[in-house]
Amino acid sequence: MPKKNDLERRALRLVIDAGEEGILQSDMWKKLGVTSREGSRLALKFEEKGAVERKRVLHEGRWTYKLFSLAKMVTIDSIGDCPCITCEGLDKCFPGGQITPIHCQLLTLWMDPELAESLANEAAETGN
């Protein structure tokens, strides 16, 4: 019998691999070779942890749940415009260093686009 953690990892992997299409809860437990009760418990556990979203859907005339991963896959595209990549001070940048990512304004603005937009609007209003 597989270990509980291994089963949870495999179940979560199925949901993540399903991508934006999601996976029917029943398909997940069938692929895992567990009972519907075990599959439902896994899905509820993942939902409680905020790892998946369960949506009630009508499938082949019956109500069931579809699971969608809330985790987003990281790709190189997601960091392609990170200011650290082209920063001239990168070799001096580390916590406690001459330059620190904790206080880097460029990095902060890149990580929080709403803050960057707010500051840009503020600067436009004040004429700076």
The domain that holds 16 is classified in CATH as 1.10.10.10
Question: Lowest-confidence range among 10-19, 38-47, 110-119?
Answer: 110-119
Structure tokens at 114: 């709403």
Sign of torsion over alpha carbons 41, 47, 51, 52: positive
Helices vs strands, H then E, count in the chain: 5, 3
Q: How many domains does the chain have?
A: 2
> How many percent of the chain have pLDDT more than 70?
95
Same domain flag for 64 and 23: yes
Containing structural domain, residue 45? 4-69
Helix (H, G, I), strand (E, B) or coil at 110: helix
Q: What is the pLDDT of residues 40-81, one digit of tens each?
A: 999 999 999 999 999 999 999 999 999 999 987 677 887 888
Same domain flag for 52 and 88: no
Q: Which of 69, 96, 114 is the last residue of a domain?
A: 69
Rounded to two decimals, the pTM is 0.57
Same domain flag for 62 and 90: no
Kindly give, in sequence order, each residue whose CB lies less than 8 Å from that of residue 39, ignoring residues fewer than 6 positions away: 11, 25, 26, 28, 29, 30, 32
Question: Has residue 34 been placed in a domain?
Answer: yes
